[in-house]
Structure 1
Amino acid sequence: MSDLSQLRFTPSRPLTLGVELELQLVSLRDYDLTRAATDLLGGLHYDDRFGEIKLEITESMIEVNSRPRQDVTAIAADLDGLRQVLVEHCQRNNIAVCGGGTHAFHHWPERRISPGERFAFLNERYGYLSKQFTVFGQHIHIGVPSGDDAIWLTHALNLHVPHFVALSAASPYLDATDTGFESARLNAVSAFPLSGQAPDVADWAAFLDHMALLQSCGVAESIKDLYWDVRPKPEYGTVEVRVCDTPLTVDRATELAAFAQCLARYLLRERPPVVPAMQALVARYNKFQACRFGFAAELADPLRRCKTPLATALPALLEQLAGDADDLGCRPQLDRLRALAASHQGDAAWLRQTYQATGNLHDLTRAAADEFARPSSYCAQA
């Protein structure tokens, strides 16, 4: 076991991007989740040119990771390449792959833990929560040059967790029920003891002291044990945003990566005041609001002692980032998110509308798989 007080932060080029997507593996017979990940990967012939394809905690999941890239054009190409490889390989094995933050009707006791020491450890530590953790998220990595920058950006991005949740929400259904939430997925994550907002540590040295405390108490053995909404990832030299549902399309995943990059650029340049202790007073409430109500959330502002409609704050933020989007070459992606925020018609709304049209959750999942199979429009434009 490594000494967490000695963790080194590996610097990376500022604003480098990386994207992880956790995806559903479903049977073409009934579109329920299927336990096929290990066999699927065992027969996969792929040269990693677009990034990694690997196991996740249960056999009904697969994870794809882009390569580290400087811009969203390259991220779109990686995600579309990974999508094509996985969709074609799954079709040969009578499986479909789809996005969305939860599967609409699977039964968690039927899940099987994937092989591997890490997955066995999680199953031993967390019991049934490990199988209930068959939920699907998008993680976005943003490169920073130092550990101190990573800690500051972690706190700064925490203020915007509700914005990421609302833009990505894609999990209204769970256990064959409309939960009333836009993102029900994060309720599964919140069950873990080290979930939520990062503690109020001032810099990298203070973060190492915190990690040493957790290790000495037997609470955490590695960064992987932290299920924070936003966390530093020192071996990659990044800050990782972890609250997004996996979108239904790689285009939306690309747009969310563009938002993260633009927002990080703006924050690191402008350095607005960040008060983690005050944010912590309302962080869980604000995240709940975004999960439950999406674009209709009401966010608590502890500094001004008032509530702000997310439907007002989010478009204003996206407008504020327009110059950064121009400089980073991702204005089309940000413009699509601005249209999304104006319409309030995100993936959760699409899922509900499709269910009303099809009349059953099996056909809804089939339609979601068809959505994920569509090639990226950004790659077609290139």
Structure 2
Amino acid sequence: MGRSGIPGEWTLGVEEEFFLVDGTGRLVPRAPEALGETEDPDADLKPELLRYQVESATGVCRDAHDLHRELTDLRNQLALGAARQDARLAASGTVVHAQNGDALIGPGSRYHQIAEHFGQLVVGGLVCGCHVHVGVDDRAVALKVSNHLRPWLPVLLALSANSPFVDGKPTGYASSRHLLYSRWPSGGPPPYLESLDQYESIVAGYLEAEAALDRKMVYWDVRPSEHQPTIEIRVGDVAATAQEATLFAIVVRCLVAHAMDLIADGVAAPNVPGELLRAGMWRAAKDGLAGFCPDPRTGELRAVQAILDEEINRCTPELKRTEELELVTSTMDWLRQRGGGAERQLRAFEQHRRLDDALDEIVVPAPAMGVERHL
């Protein structure tokens, strides 16, 4: 991926992870079989760490409309494959229902090596995320972009929060996935990085300590991709709908584009102390979209939606030019009315105290059963 020919427009792609569950919310360990039932051999669909999980990856997309169409198609493909294995595709950062029994590690020797080395940490935190790639083909520049994105990580986490249940119980957090995923020794927000040499030194330290078994296991919320010429933003829960995932990716792209402008102008990123950044991430994970987190520009605790509205207003000229403004604003309006993924799951559950109702909020229907809800 790389920068397109239009100033201010950047290529992007999205990877999404999903659970396979049955009608009672129990995990279904048939990911390879479900993937074999999909109908598009060219779609980038693959198993994940556990046999209950599947993953999709878009191609290189130029705008929100192409991205939304591809995300919707990939979700439909996976939902169809799941249905043919008597399973449902669940788009949530954590599993809604309590689970019993052992986790099954997905195919591939790498996954088995990870499970053997890290033990219960692997199977004790079932999580699904959303990874956004934006084209930045210079790794040293990507690290500078990462520095500029660090203060925005709580806002992005709050926007994506969609995991309020663990072991069949409300956790009191909008993003329980963030808390679980942060247990990995290389997880969480990245440090402020002064150079590519510093980055390589940290990676080498992870490998030497066997806190990571390979370079792909640097699980920071932002990192230079190891397999694409991109910067990869990994902070988000998987979204309940393709349109929310599209919004999340476009906000990320706007932030990356602005960071590149600041870098070109010689503006250094604010060096937010890691302790304060982790505190802001905790607050975002607790509150989600409806709550508060530190303002990336001032550090003041403010409403997440107000921060997002200001950023979208800043990006309005670009979004108008790319004909994406209506999609972004209509999705934000829908979220204001209905709430983010975590809010909708909790509201559905609280009406009758039924976990099945929360699950229904985040299941992607197979095409034969009706296409995904449109906002």
What TM-score comes out, normalization by structure 2 length? Answer: 0.88
Tell me how far 1:308 sits from its aligned partner: 3.9
* Cα distance, 1:114–1:154 mapped onto 2, change above 3 Å: same
Query: Paired residue for 2:107?
Result: 115
**Aligned-residue offset at 1:197:** 2.0
Q: Look up the equivalent residue of 1:289 and give its one-letter code.
A: R
Change (3 A) 1:279 1:295: farther
**Contact 2:155 2:284 (C-alpha < 8 Å) held by counterparts:** yes
The alignment status of 1:191 with 2:183, answered yes or no, reads yes
Whether the aligned pair in 2 keeps the contact of 1:143 and 1:237 (CA below 8 Å) is yes
Matched, 1:86 2:86: no
Match for residue 263 of structure 1?
255
Equivalent residues in 2 for 1:193-272 (5 A)?
193-271=185-263, 272=267
Q: 1:117 to 1:183 in 2, by over 3 A?
A: same
Q: Secondary structure at the match of 2:227?
A: coil
| Among 326, 330, 347, the residue aligned to 1:353 | 347
Instruction: Tell me, yes or no, if the aligned pair for 2:189 and 2:220 is still in contact at 8 Å.
Output: yes
1:275 aligns with one of 265, 270, 275: 270
Local SS of the residue matching 1:321:
helix
Gap regions ≥5 residues in structure 1: 1-10
Cα distance 1:301–1:247, how it changes in 2: closer, same or farther (>3 A)?
A: closer
Deviations 1:234-269 (A, max 9, x none): 430111111111111111111111111122112212
Look up the match of 1:288.
282
Is 1:22–2:17 an aligned residue pair? Answer: yes
What secondary structure sits across from 2:55 in the alignment? strand
Q: Say if 1:167 and 1:341, in contact at 8 Å, map to a contact too.
A: no
Q: Equivalent of 2:64, from 72, 84, 104?
A: 72
Aligned to 1:13: 3
**Cα-to-partner distance string for 1:319-357 (whole Å, 9 max, x where unaligned):** 222223223332123213542565581111111121133
Structure 1 residue identity aligned to 2:281: K
Question: For 1:97-136, what aligned pairs fall within 5 Å after superposition?
Answer: 97-107=89-99, 109-136=101-128
| Residues 1:184 and 1:371: Cα distance change in structure 2 (over 3 Å) | farther
Q: What percent of counterpart residues are identical?
A: 24
Q: Is it true that 1:329 corresponds to 2:323 in the alignment? A: yes
Query: Counterpart of 2:231 in structure 1: which amino acid?
Result: V
> Aligned equivalents of 1:336 and 1:108: distance in 2?
40
- The question of 1:369 aligning with 2:363 is answered yes
Query: Post-superposition shift, 1:313?
Result: 2.5
Report the equivalent of 1:8.
Answer: none
Give 1:36's match in structure 2, choosing from 9, 30, 35. 30
1:202 is paired with a residue of what secondary structure? Answer: coil
How far apart in 1 are the matches of 2:273 and 2:288? 19
Name which of structure 1's ranges 262-271 and 157-166 shifts more when overlaid on structure 2: 262-271
Shift of 1:53: 0.8
Give me the whole-angstrom Cα distance separating, in 2, the residues matched to 1:370 and 1:192. Answer: 29
TM-score, length of structure 1 as denominator length:
0.87
Consecutive unaligned residues of structure 2, counting only runs of 5 or more, are 5-9
Q: Distance in 2 between matches of 1:305 and 1:53?
A: 40
The answer to whether the Cα contact below 8 Å between 2:344 and 2:361 also exists between their aligned partners in 1 is no
SS at match of 1:103: coil
Cα RMSD of the aligned pairs, angstroms, is 2.5
1:281–1:302 contact (8 Å) kept in structure 2: no
Amino acid at match of 1:168: S
Q: Given the superposition, is the C-alpha separation of residues 376 and 143 from structure 1 closer, same or farther in structure 2, using an over 3 Å criterion? A: farther
SS in structure 1 at match of 2:363? helix
Which digits, 9 at most, give the CA deviation of each residue in 1:192-241, with x for residues without a partner? 11112222322334322333344445444433111111111143011111
